[in-house]
Amino acid sequence: MSRRDEAEALDARDPVASARALFALPEGVLYLDGNSLGPPAAGAASRVEAAVRAEWGEGLVSSWNAAGWWEEPIRLGDRIARLVGAAPGQVAVCDSTSVNLYKVLASALRLAAGRRVVVAERECFPTDRYMLEGLSSVPGALHVRLVGHAPGDLVDGCDESVGAVLVNHVDYRTARRVDLGAVVARAHDVGALVVADVAHSAGAIEVALDDWGVDFAVGCTYKYLNGGPGSPAFVYVASRHLTAATQPLSGWHGHERPFAFTDRYAPAPGIRRFLCGSPPIVAYAALDAALDVWDSVDLRAVVAKGQDLVDLLLDLLDERCPELTVASPRARPERGSHVALRHEGAYDVVRALAARGVLADFREPDVVRVGLAPLYLRFVDVVDAVSVLRDVLDDRPWERAPTGDRATVT
Which H, E and C letters describe the chain, residue by residue? CCHHHHHHHHHHCCCCHHHHHHECCCCCCEECCCCCCCCCECCHHHHHHHHHHHHHCCCHHHHHHHCCHHHHHHHHHHHHHHHHCCCCCCEEECCCHHHHHHHHHHHHHHHCCCCCEEEEECCCCHHHHHHHHHHHCCCCCCEEEEECCCCCHHHHCCCCCEEEEEEECECCCCCEECCHHHHHHHHHHCCCEEEEECCCCCCCCCCCHHHHCCCEEEECCCCCCCCCCCCCCEEEECHHHCCCCCCCCCCHHHECCHHHCCCCCCECCHHHHHCCCCCCHHHHHHHHHHHHHHHCCCHHHHHHHHHHHHHHHHHHHHHHCCCCEECCCCCHHHECCEEEEECCCHHHHHHHHHHCCEECEEECCCEEEEECCCCCCCHHHHHHHHHHHHHHHHHCHHHCCCCCCCCCCC
Burial of 207 from C-beta contacts in 10 A (0-12 / 13-18 / 19+): buried
**CB 118, CB 109: distance < 8 Å:** yes
Cβ partners under 8 Å of residue 62, min gap 6: none
Which is nearest to 233 in space by CA: 281, 199, 210? Answer: 199
Identify whether 223 is a catalytic site residue.
yes
Number of residues that make up the chain: 410
The residue annotated as part of the active site, out of 176, 272, 305, 369, is 369
Identify whether 222 is a catalytic site residue.
yes
Peptide bond into 26 cis (omega under 30): no
The residue annotated as part of the active site, out of 23, 31, 172, 222, is 222
The residue annotated as part of the active site, out of 125, 234, 347, 362, is 125
| C-alpha pair distances (Å), 189 with each of 19, 145, 160, 163, 342 | 42, 18, 9, 12, 38
The residue annotated as part of the active site, out of 33, 95, 128, 197, is 197
The residue annotated as part of the active site, out of 115, 176, 177, 223, is 223
Identify whether 128 is a catalytic site residue.
no
- Annotated catalytic residues are 125, 197, 222-223, 369
